[in-house]
Amino acid sequence: MPQLGLLHGRAWASLLGKLLRPPGAVCIGAVHSHSQVAEAVLVSQLKPHQEKSNFIIKTPKGTRDLTPQQMVVREKILDLVVSCFKRHGAKGLDTPAFELKDFDIAGQFDPMIPDAECLKIMCEILSGLQLGDFLIKMSWKDVRHEMVAKKGLAPEVADRIGDYVQCHGGVSLVEQMFQDPRLSQNKQALEGLGDLKLLFEYVTLFGIAEKISFDLSLARGLDYYTGVVYEAVLLPTPAQAEEEPLNVGSVAAGGRYDGLVGMFDPKGHKVPCVGLSIGVERIFSIVEQKMKTFGEKIRTTETQVFVASPQKNFLQERLKLIAELWDAGIKAELLYKNNPKLLTQLHYCENMGIPLVVIVGEQELKEGVIKLRSVASREEVAIKRENLVAEIQKRLSES
């Protein structure tokens, strides 16, 4: 996942305060990266007495200008992510960084329940974004360290570990390693495998086991992880596999970081934490490219009704009518011209994807009605002025 710069001191203080609150708390970090914390510690240790700092001014990542079409796509992604977080009981926390959306669970709980929920959230978001098929690779930092990185293993054990590093799978792989007498001599590794077995039980109950793969080759490089680690990758379609492999890296990642908060607490309180980060900017680029490939048209406004007139000198009537719609909570607009041509107004609605047009003219005023036109079908009906708002609301609720 993209690494970000230092978290602002006040923002980290805010985050730390949230994480040090009573157990049971869940929070959404607007867009921060856990890796910033390790950088902050390093800087504080290297420059404890320095009064002046040298700054290098850079354009922050994630702050590029966006067109109206791009803004629509990005907001839809963010809305889906945040609504999923809130569905799982999250509280908001905003920090001045970019590129990620985080979900963290802080507090002392029974093993693997919060971890399983984080994996469930990741699956819900990636499924809702309709990016294509995906897989969440999962490992256990201590298991990997003890079985792969630690020196002094007997050659035959090292060879056996090498076989497992090449494997990936579900609970059956965990069971196989659990029962292997040549790999069951390390207590810490056994505990990790036991927790992984429990985690697979929970993700099976959540209905996402087929999206999770235990993979010992996964090694996220951030030192503060203390247990389960995971990252989500998109899988290529058969057509993509034949032509060119999909290589976008991970689109979401996370893990358990039980020792991180205590590093910033003067009293050294330990606050177990597990969390995930959604790579919003990376996902945005993928969605944007897919829409270009398939030529999808994007609506840049949410206008529901356009107020038009076929005749000159009807600006006042249009203004009265649109005020009535606005006051009723209907999203409406008109052209900022005194006497626009009707064809110009209708073309504007078609180009902008506005579903309904209300038309007022001399004949309509005389009869006390307003014409309501469907842009898609071009069908028109006359509605009594006093019934117009109710009719529009009915149609919008049915669409």
Nearest one of 271, 309, 273, 144 to 217, comparing CA atoms:
144
Can you give the length of the chain in residues?
399
* Cα separation, 254 vs 231, whole angstroms: 6
DSSP 152-165: ---HHHHHHHHHHH
Taking a C-beta distance cutoff of 8 angstroms, is the pair 367, 382 a contact? yes
Residue 224 marked as a ligand binder: yes
Token look-up 């360290």 returns: 145
Token look-up 């389960």 returns: 228
- Please report, as a single letter, which amino acid is at residue 26: V
Residue 225 marked as a ligand binder: yes
Helix, strand, coil percentages, rounded to 5, for the chain: 45, 20, 40
The backbone torsions φ and ψ at residue 268, rounded to the nearest 5 degrees and listed phi first, read: 70, 25
Count of helices and strands (H, E) across the chain = 14, 14
Q: E strands within the chain?
A: 25-29, 91-93, 100-106, 134-140, 168-169, 212-215, 228-234, 250-256, 273-279, 305-308, 332-333, 356-359, 369-374, 380-384
| Structural tokens at position 151 | 């020196």
Q: Report which DSSP code applies to 253.
A: E
Taking a C-beta distance cutoff of 8 angstroms, is the pair 251, 287 a contact? no
Beta bridge partners of 215: 168
Residue 202 marked as a ligand binder: no
Q: Report which DSSP code applies to 227.
A: S
* Cα separation, 90 vs 167, whole angstroms: 35
- For the annotated binding site, the residues are 220, 224-225
- For the annotated binding site for L-histidine, the residues are 220, 224-225
